[in-house]
Structure 1
Amino acid sequence: MPRTFFVGGNWKCNGTAQSVSALVDTLNNADLPAAGIVEVVVAPTYVHIPLVQQKLRFEIAVSAQNCWVKGNGAYTGEVSADILVDLGLHWVILGHSERRSLLQESNEFVADKTVYALSKGLNVILCVGETLAQRENGDTMNIVNDQIKAVADKLSPSDWTKVVVAYEPVWAIGTGKVATTEQAQEVHQQLRSWLSDNVSADVGAQTRIIYGGSVSAKNCNELAGAPDIDGFLVGGASLKPEFVDIIASAKNRASA
């Protein structure tokens, strides 16, 4: 079956009640592609999740930006997958490069969080990606393969129906630099081949692999036309009205 285009908005550590409400109003009033063409998920801060849930149109799902590796307990400052499920959420972002670098989350730790989140019924947006130095050294595929392998070693093939892989080259996140369509397509195609060879052909064919890294209204349509780019995980631009244009790029993929 065709892979439904997927657009996620990662709002990161941003927002006030006023600005979040204004952003929700923009999305509520937008003329978005039909559900069969695109699936849209936004990830506000933890404290803004109830506000967004209350006001946002039902076609757009709400995600958390992270969750703890275990269940409830004496883990001050953490939020468990159990709590996210209790809030009515269905998605969580895991393995984002900012958490891997700033908080030193290892491949194994991200894998363990993924396993636990899936066990509680959450869908996971799993982030992988290389630094500029790693790309310049020719290590891109070694890095992303190691990141995906750590997770794949702990999942069954059926688990992958609840995972969206987000390829986010670290050197392109928030820098204004964007992987060319050819660069992104190459990594996406090789990730898909890795899943086919190491998990199953069905998983390789059906898993959605989305791109993140300074995605904007200016570059989204070209990127969306690549055969193995199944959508976007958008950072800064998801806080702006142009996020609507990025969502609309799904039409470019649908007609390709």
Structure 2
Amino acid sequence: METVDTIAGRSSRPEAQEPATLVGTVQPGVQVSRRAWSLAEVTALLRDLRAAAPAPGEHSALRLLSHRIDFVVDLTDRRLAAGDVNDPAGSKVLRQARAAALELAGNGPVGLVHGDLHPANVLSGPGARMVAIDPRPTWGDPDFDAVDWVLEGVAGPAVLEQRIEEPAALVPGMSPRRVLGWCRALAALIAVPRRCAGRDDAETRFLMALADSRRCSYAAVRRAARRAPARGPCGPYGTCRPRWPRWPCWSRGGRAGR
């Protein structure tokens, strides 16, 4: 069984107090992506991972979160290139995503980050407990790990606000503003490949708009969530036109900020 200390680059001695499990053998080991999950379950997982995480050690073998960001953006670029995709607008958004994510990584708290925490990398554990597997561990902002769960299935600002607010109220140290910042920075990594593959559903349009809303403050998103209709005069989910890259109506009037 692999533990948080092992992931952090430390040895877990038998005589030491056993830390909380990050990766382990779970029977039957059903991926959470294959069943319905609740935000309350995810909140408990995020809280447990933070509670078990050690502080950065002098001799840790882990890299910083910035290396993980460069890797995932480069991987997205390579996949698009391999598919012979020529999308200057998408490439521009990916460059913006890299810059925004690296800025967040450079000015935030430092803790143990799973690095690839999404429903396919979490198993149903004993007593309905979630167990994270297959980490890509780094030192950086733990709020990074919330992004896939917050953005899963989201196609409008009201759901985005709920997905951010609920765990942030219960997970010590989680910042709603930083989670939103990570969502804006990383939304392009989900949306650009979908757009290049021809997807034009409401979720993809919202993610593309979110990726291009870097100046929209968290307060503006909250205001928008309270006034945005399911289908407004500008188009589905508040987009000014049915396709990206036009600015989303819900961010109009929003002031710059984090």
State if a TM-score over 0.5 links the two structures: no
> Which of structures 1 and 2 has the larger relative contact order (alpha carbons within 8 angstroms, sep 6+)?
1
Normalised by the shorter chain, which TM-score bucket? under 0.3
Structure with the higher strand share, 1 or 2: 1
Q: Which has the larger radius of gyration?
A: 2
Structure 1-normalised TM-score?
Answer: 0.26
TM-score by length of 2: 0.26
